[in-house]
Amino acid sequence: MKESDLKKVPVDQMRLGMHLHEMCGAWLDHPFWKTKFVLRDQADLTKLQESSIKECWIDVSKGLDVATVIDDIEVMGRRDYIATASVNSAVDVDTATDRVRAAAVSTTKPAEFGEEVRRAAALCNQARAAVTSLFAEARMGRVVYNEQCAELVHEIATSVGRNPSALISLARLKTHDDYSYMHSVAVAALMATLAKQLEMDDTQVRMAAKAGLLHDMGKAVMPLDILNKPGKLTDEEFALIKTHPQHGHALLLAGESVNDVELDVCLHHHEKMDGTGYPDKLSGDEISLFARMGAVCDVYDAITSNRPYKQGWDPAESIARMAGWAKGHFDLTIFKAFVTSLGIYPVGSLVRLKSGLLAVVTQQNAQAMTSPEVKVFFSTKQGLHVPPRLLDLSNPNCSDSIVSRESNDTWKFTHLDALWAGEETLRKMGRKA
């Protein structure tokens, strides 16, 4: 694609037959989860023109041009946008755009958890629709064009850069119906967070997020009755499910802009350090760094999420159980970095304090992992709920501390998520408050 093939067009000048290359404006305002397709449906054109998007980039080498000539200054403006790439007639605009996005992530300013969780709720809704569409297209035999995931990956990496706990915690709140889709989003966020903890550069952080987003693409072609089966799988069913890495690998190979990291994580995220994983029974150094990261992130989100056949475990309980499995299953250095990135008591964990109060973790403390901010709400001594209040366990004036993790399987509280996320956030996500 040549730079001169791109033109910026007001949406009121868009028409059927144009090849939509990119929409200007915030990704959350986009009426479609993907770009880079020919507008053939009047309903899509109407949706675009009724959205808050004002301008789009079209590729005239792949579709119709505008009815009138666009001033050359618009093309020059596009050249400024991709100034980080070589400026010549054959410049790779997609690669340049990716670099610009990576640079934007590197300058992201931190945000308080409460502020970011509201933005992350909107991102989760948009991401759910995007990945649902991606899986649906794969089921119909359409090639996965993973460059269409670029905006979603950018939003995930940016959210994680502002406050990783917000998106990671919200993406854990899945229903049985959307597990497969939101699992991909959650693993993408976990991979980006872990990459930052491992001090990878911004391009690698985005690469990790994209690999996480696409790691389970093979599930798209698995039978839905097996994926959503409420009981234990038979040996034959489990053998079929274990082929999803190969199927996903094949889907990505058939797509465009695929890279070795995405292919490798997709194929090898179920490998174990002791060689007992699948599909290739790799062990030790045979497993790449990104695949080792994928293994940890995939397991954590799977065991903390509600599934058709079981309720998810508490985040802190999950970390403790994974620590018990770590030798042989995970790379220990990566697992320790993962725990550091989430905290020993991740947001949403149910804990018992020395005072006998029960609390939910609401925010991490990077300087004191065992002393997060919590919201107390129940007295075990009185057996009664108490008015919820925040407590910073790292405050020198605070005499309370965590003495143990608690399992909600015992207590069966129904409002834990609302305590840390807020009822309004849960409603926006379509979850019970």
User: What is the secondary structure of 10-28 as a DSSP string?
Assistant: EGGG--TT-EEEEE-S-GG
Of the candidates 297, 324, 342, which is a domain's last residue? 342
> Domain holding 244: CATH number?
1.10.3210.10
Residue 202 in any domain: the answer is yes
Structure tokens at 13: 């000048």
CA torsion 302-149-217-132 (nearest 10°) is 80
Residue range of the domain that includes 8:
3-91
My answer on whether 323 and 368 are in the same domain is no
pLDDT tens string 174-218: 887 789 899 999 999 999 999 999 999 999 999 999 999 999 999
Q: Other C-beta atoms within 10 Å of 280: how many?
A: 15
My answer on whether 174 and 230 are in the same domain is yes
Confidence bin at 43 (pLDDT 50/70/90):
confident
Of the candidates 318, 342, 366, which is a domain's last residue? 342
Phi, psi of 391 (to 5 degrees): -140, 120
My answer on whether 15 and 129 are in the same domain is no
My answer on whether 141 and 48 are in the same domain is no
My answer on whether 175 and 117 are in the same domain is yes
What's the pLDDT score for residue 40? 87
My answer on whether 277 and 392 are in the same domain is no
Residue 372 in any domain: the answer is yes
| Of 47 and 287, the one with more pLDDT | 287
What's the maximum distance between 2 C-alpha atoms anywhere in the chain? Answer: 76
Residue 65 in any domain: the answer is yes
CB proximity list for 351: less than 8 A, separation 6 or greater: 316, 345, 358, 359, 360, 361, 374, 402, 404, 405, 406
My answer on whether 168 and 63 are in the same domain is no
Of 44, 50, 14, the C-alpha closest to 32 is 44
Confidence bin at 79 (pLDDT 50/70/90):
very low
Question: Residue 308, preceding bond cis, omega within 30 degrees?
Answer: no
Q: Where are the alpha helices (DSSP H) in 254-331?
A: 260-268, 289-304, 315-329
My answer on whether 372 and 224 are in the same domain is no
What's the pLDDT score for residue 99? 53
Structure tokens at 283: 């062990």
Beta strands in 62-107 (DSSP E): none
Residue 12 in any domain: the answer is yes
Q: Is 334 helix (H, G, I), strand (E, B) or coil?
A: helix
Strand order in the sheet with 357-363: 384-392, 373-379, 357-363, 350-353, 402-405
Residue 257 in any domain: the answer is yes
My answer on whether 259 and 166 are in the same domain is yes
pLDDT at 87 > cutoff 60? no
My answer on whether 295 and 371 are in the same domain is no
Q: Which is it for the CA torsion 206, 190, 299, 331, positive or negative?
A: positive
Residue 395 in any domain: the answer is yes
Structural domain total, the chain:
3
Lowest mean pLDDT among 23-37, 192-206, 234-248: 23-37
55-59 vs 6-10, strand pairing mode: antiparallel
Residue 118 in any domain: the answer is yes
Query: CA separation (Å) from 193 to 146, 148, 315, 320, 339?
Result: 21, 22, 16, 19, 11
d(CA 322, CA 299): 8
Query: CA separation (Å) from 356 to 45, 382, 395?
Result: 59, 9, 19
Beta strands in 263-420 (DSSP E): 350-353, 357-363, 373-379, 384-392, 402-405
Residue 433 in any domain: the answer is no
Lowest mean pLDDT among 81-95, 275-289, 390-404: 81-95
Of the candidates 282, 310, 342, which is a domain's last residue? 342
Q: At what angle do helices 150-162 and 179-197 cross, to 10 degrees?
A: 60
What's the pLDDT score for residue 73? 32
Average pLDDT value for residue range 223-241 = 92
My answer on whether 279 and 400 are in the same domain is no
My answer on whether 255 and 120 are in the same domain is yes
55-59 vs 384-392, strand pairing mode: unpaired
Of 128, 160, 136, the C-alpha closest to 33 is 128
Lowest mean pLDDT among 89-93, 388-392, 403-407: 89-93
Instruction: Report the half-sphere exposure of 134 (CA within 13 A, side-chain side).
Output: 33
Structure tokens at 390: 């925040």
d(CA 185, CA 301): 10
